[in-house]
Structure 1
Amino acid sequence: MESVRFKNKDIDVAADLRFPPGFDSSKKYPAIVCGHPISSCKEQTAGSIYGERLAEMGYVTLAFDASYQGESGGEPRYLEDPAARVEDFRCAVDYLVTLDYVDEERIGALGVCGGGAYAANATMTEHRIKALGTVVAANYGRIMREGDMSPNAAVATLEAIGKQRTAEARGGDPVITTYIPPSVEAREQAGLTDVDVVNAVEYYTTPRGQNPNSPNKLRFSGLSAALGFDAFHLAEVLLTQPLQIIVGDVPGGFGSYRDGFELYDRARSEKKNLFVVPGASHYDLYDKKEYVDQALEKLQAFYAEHR
């Protein structure tokens, strides 16, 4: 593995390159850009699980930290900016095409959770990406708009964001909130029992997946763009590349199960497949071997066909 950096405008994006066994820089290899989940980092599932396994299958893989997050640059910190995250994918392709050992006609993308939805959005307007795989892709804009599922949730959130921006414009401190409860104990005290929330807290706040580059911090005043973002907008017009969607059949509050079906229905791609992993919840497909193996078997066949 090699740690590298590439530019998204004036931001240095941190990434990990992984190489196939017996890598020979004089040869040409297919490559896959790997996008991480919301609140995650390149050292977690997108890189250490999917990026690593795909490299073992013969691909150069590039797993990156989103702009403003992880080891990547960008101010203000802890910003979840859909436009920047989509552009990160395009800039990752810009970087890959400068590498002599990457075949520019065989570049694919893979995204997990929110990274899957961002990957889908990027692929619509980045046709140097020749094949797209998503694992439990979740449309972050939809999640934000639904909020607590009350009828006025999105508007109430936008009003609160506006007040916070006003406070910051007048010199007030930013509000740094969290994506999920900060511990298992905090989740239990809050009475949150949805399977996705339970598993998210277990994954991100315990040794199972915990990483210092994924600090569970989110800048509240920067969320207005996310509320107005639909990752699947224009998929029926612009998403034409081969598409492999993978979801688990245990639905949870983050909605990746229904988002997978929506993306499948909306994508213009002539070659598309939706694979439902039996018995798997959203976070099972991050790192649970019995489920990840099924996802990767499907992805291996998919990328081999379309590379």
Structure 2
Amino acid sequence: METVNIRNRDMDWDIAADIHFPPNFDKTKKYPAIISAHPIGSCKEQTSGNVYGVALAKEGFVVIAFDRSFQGASGGEPRFIEDPTLTVEDFRHVADYLVTLPYVDEDRIGVLGICGGGGYAINAAMTERRIKAVGTVTGANYGRLMRGGFAKLDPIGLLEKISKQRTAEARGAEWHVDDLLPPSVEAGKKAGIKDIDVLEATDYYRTPRGQKPHGCNRSLLSHQAAAVGWDAFHLAEVLLTQPLCVVVGDKVGAFGAYRDGCEIIERAASKNKELVVVEGWSHYDLYDKPEPVRQALDKLVPFFKTHLNGAAAASRPQAAE
């Protein structure tokens, strides 16, 4: 693995990324590449890199797992911002970087997104034609979440709250940062939380199971408005034409990945698209538990090998200079 910094030339900061290499990597050959995008409030060391990135690299792909701007080890101030428009631009900057690497085949670049990273990956692929195949694992439409459960079904009320906080900060008030999860599963249950997604997210992010220094699950209130007005699937009927593989679990929680998976499969203009339902497993089981992850990879690996033109063969030699 190699850690790199990718310059975001538009915003003048760096995007941090880890590159995972195939076995017996030979920098004189050309490899297919996959951009791997982490969940909401997460980082590249949580599932996108250390689970799916590592696994896909073993199958012959160069995998680049990156931290979104304002998060993880990437630049951007203030911290803890989820701005979908800027996030989609991050995908473009990562693609820009990949096409400069002599060992990456620019015609064989795919994308994989987990949770909110899945919604971002779908949206980015609609207008980033260098992406040739799209996979998601328990992918969620962050805009729908922000208008729904994250707004307590009152998006206008949330926007009013955001506006008031932004005015306060413009006048010198401190940033207001929301913790997205309770400190522990026990604290969540004591507070009356029953939803499987919230409790299992807490078990993942707030325990040694998935806890990482940069995976903070925090959100800056004054900068949430852009996400409320965003839709990951807007114009999918017209612009999402790449092959699409959507993996979801059938143990359904409030974050709605199962619902979103069904919706995007129905709406996408892709001629080659598949909804994979991993039976008996939940949203967060698909982050790192061996059996559901194996089932997801059993579909994703052949999907990417087929649509990124024979990754198992590893590679065409580079053309002579």
- Matched position secondary structure for 2:266: helix
Q: For 1:302 and 1:188, locate their aligned partners in 2 and report how far apart those are by CA, in whole Å.
A: 39
Matched, 1:283 2:289: no
Matched, 1:43 2:45: yes
Deviation at 1:87, TM superposition (A): 1.0
Cα deviation, 1:73-94, whole Å, max 9, x if unaligned, reads 0011111111111111111110
Instruction: Give the number of aligned pairs.
Output: 306
Matched, 1:6 2:6: yes
Give 2:36's match in structure 1, choosing from 34, 37, 43: 34
Letter in 2 for 1:6: I
Cα deviation, 1:84-107, whole Å, max 9, x if unaligned, reads 111111111100000000000000
Q: For 1:43 and 1:73, locate their aligned partners in 2 and report how far apart those are by CA, in whole Å.
A: 16
- The 8 Å contact of residues 53 and 65 in structure 2, kept in 1 or not, is answered as yes
Letter in 2 for 1:34: S
- Evaluate the alpha carbon distance shift between residue 149 and residue 215 of structure 1 in structure 2; reply closer, same or farther with a 3 A threshold: closer
The within-5 A match list for 1:220-259 is 220-259=221-260
- Evaluate the alpha carbon distance shift between residue 150 and residue 79 of structure 1 in structure 2; reply closer, same or farther with a 3 A threshold: closer
Q: For 2:292 and 2:136, locate their aligned partners in 1 and report how far apart those are by CA, in whole Å.
A: 14
- The 8 Å contact of residues 40 and 217 in structure 2, kept in 1 or not, is answered as no
Aligned residue in 2 for 1:107: 109
Cα deviation, 1:13-35, whole Å, max 9, x if unaligned, reads 00000100000000000000000
Deviation at 1:184, TM superposition (A): 2.1
Aligned residue in 1 for 2:57: 55
- The 8 Å contact of residues 149 and 255 in structure 2, kept in 1 or not, is answered as no
TM-score normalised by L of structure 2: 0.94
Q: For 2:88 and 2:288, locate their aligned partners in 1 and report how far apart those are by CA, in whole Å.
A: 24
Deviation at 1:149, TM superposition (A): 7.3
Q: For 2:84 and 2:152, locate their aligned partners in 1 and report how far apart those are by CA, in whole Å.
A: 24
Deviation at 1:217, TM superposition (A): 1.8
- Evaluate the alpha carbon distance shift between residue 148 and residue 50 of structure 1 in structure 2; reply closer, same or farther with a 3 A threshold: closer
The within-5 A match list for 1:283-302 is 283-302=284-303
- Matched position secondary structure for 1:278: strand
Aligned residue in 1 for 2:27: 25
Q: For 2:81 and 2:305, locate their aligned partners in 1 and report how far apart those are by CA, in whole Å.
A: 35
Letter in 2 for 1:303: F
Further displaced range: 177-186 or 268-277: 177-186
TM-score normalised by L of structure 1: 0.98
Cα deviation, 1:237-293, whole Å, max 9, x if unaligned, reads 000000001000111100000000001011000011111001110001000100000
RMSD: 1.0
Deviation at 1:133, TM superposition (A): 0.3
The within-5 A match list for 1:71-86 is 71-86=73-88
- The 8 Å contact of residues 182 and 216 in structure 1, kept in 2 or not, is answered as no
- The 8 Å contact of residues 35 and 65 in structure 2, kept in 1 or not, is answered as yes
Letter in 2 for 1:57: E
Deviation at 1:120, TM superposition (A): 0.1
Query: Which portions of structure 1, spanning 4 or more consecutive aligned residues, are displaced by more than 6 angstroms?
Result: none
Q: For 1:176 and 1:183, locate their aligned partners in 2 and report how far apart those are by CA, in whole Å.
A: 18
Q: For 1:219 and 1:186, locate their aligned partners in 2 and report how far apart those are by CA, in whole Å.
A: 23
Cα deviation, 1:170-217, whole Å, max 9, x if unaligned, reads 001010111222222331221101110110000000011000111222
Aligned residue in 2 for 1:266: 267
Aligned residue in 2 for 1:214: 215
Letter in 1 for 2:253: G
- Matched position secondary structure for 2:73: coil
Q: For 1:298 and 1:116, locate their aligned partners in 2 and report how far apart those are by CA, in whole Å.
A: 16
In structure 1, stretches of 5+ residues that fail to align are none
Q: For 1:214 and 1:161, locate their aligned partners in 2 and report how far apart those are by CA, in whole Å.
A: 23
- Evaluate the alpha carbon distance shift between residue 179 and residue 63 of structure 1 in structure 2; reply closer, same or farther with a 3 A threshold: same
Q: For 2:117 and 2:170, locate their aligned partners in 1 and report how far apart those are by CA, in whole Å.
A: 31
- Evaluate the alpha carbon distance shift between residue 81 and residue 150 of structure 1 in structure 2; reply closer, same or farther with a 3 A threshold: closer
- Matched position secondary structure for 1:249: strand
Aligned residue in 1 for 2:146: 144
Give 2:100's match in structure 1, choosing from 93, 98, 101: 98
Letter in 1 for 2:289: K
Deviation at 1:150, TM superposition (A): 5.5
- Matched position secondary structure for 2:70: coil
Give 1:68's match in structure 2, choosing from 58, 67, 70: 70
- The 8 Å contact of residues 147 and 154 in structure 1, kept in 2 or not, is answered as no
